[in-house]
Amino acid sequence: MINFNEIKGFICDMDGVIYRGNQIIPGVREFIDWLNKENKKFLFLTNNSCYTPRELQQKLARMGLDVSEDHFYTSALATAAFLKDQAPGCSVYAIGEAALFNALYDAGITMNDINPDYVVVGEGKTYSFDTITKATNLVRNGAKLIGTNSDVSAPIENGIMPACGALVAPIEIATGKKAYFCGKPNPLMMRTGLRMLKCHSNEAVMVGDRMDTDIISGLESGMKTVLVLSGASTAETPKTYGYRPSAIFDNVGCIPGAAEEQK
């Protein structure tokens, strides 16, 4: 059981929780209004590596939501931070969107398609047979394989699309090498989120639509967890896992009502 009035911080996924593609999910506006009204700390922690925090802020603004840029953290930023810590000044061959390249450049990492230290794969339209062939041979020749996140799919308006875990799979299969994923449920990303909120894990809640990334990451970080059924999961989904969320709601708009009932 979660007493939402006692919780200080909320870490929320975005795809399937705040929006599906370019459509806002019902209840989101009420949820954000409640967070601001109750002075709750909150952070949108997304495994989507395609957008910078500023782009995410602008995307929500186009949906009529006013959220400042400092409320966002992405798997692209987590990947860049990991590589900067592991191998400062390293070089990579990257597949992904500008947000991933910007994060890597900002971390002092250079691009190299000849003999890179790492091959880094994120989501994006630059993914092609040629790029995975190049990545496969670089990994085969010794580059270490990194994925921004392990999600195999992501919700869109009319269904799902392949996500990073699915895009990395051909390289893993062809080389026999397993990727290291930096996004959720990696505890490094969760600890960063908690530091940004300045909250202890027992004061925070993880809100997400996936059992295999959002809920497990919150659980293993010592946080309470909320599964919303507005994205990848249905009411039946938790029954197939050996762990359960602390609470299940149709969408994030149900959280303010639950908090009001607890007063």
User: Given this model, what pLDDT does residue 153 score?
Assistant: 85
Mean pLDDT (whole number) for 118-122: 97
Q: Is the pLDDT of residue 172 over 80?
A: yes
| pLDDT tier for residue 108 given thresholds of 50, 70 and 90 | very high
User: Given this model, what pLDDT does residue 54 score?
Assistant: 96
Summarised one tens digit per residue, pLDDT across range 17-58 is 999 888 899 999 999 999 999 999 999 999 989 999 999 999
> Measured between alpha carbons, how far is 96 from 146 in angstroms, rounded to an integer?
12
Summarised one tens digit per residue, pLDDT across range 217-249 is 999 999 999 999 998 899 999 999 999 999 999
Closest CA to 25 of 71, 60, 50, 49: 60
List the beta strands (DSSP E) in 209-258. 224-228, 247-249
15 is catalytic: yes
Task: Evaluate whether 9-47+184-262 and 77-181 have a shared fold.
Answer: yes
- Report the CATH superfamily, name and number, of domain 9-47+184-262: HAD superfamily/HAD-like (3.40.50.1000)
The DSSP secondary structure of 142-161, one letter per residue, reads TPEEEES---SEEEETTEEE
Task: For domain 77-181, give the fold.
Answer: Rossmann fold (3.40.50)
User: Given this model, what pLDDT does residue 90 score?
Assistant: 98
User: Structural domain boundaries of the chain?
Assistant: 9-47+184-262, 77-181
Mean pLDDT (whole number) for 140-169: 90
70 is catalytic: no
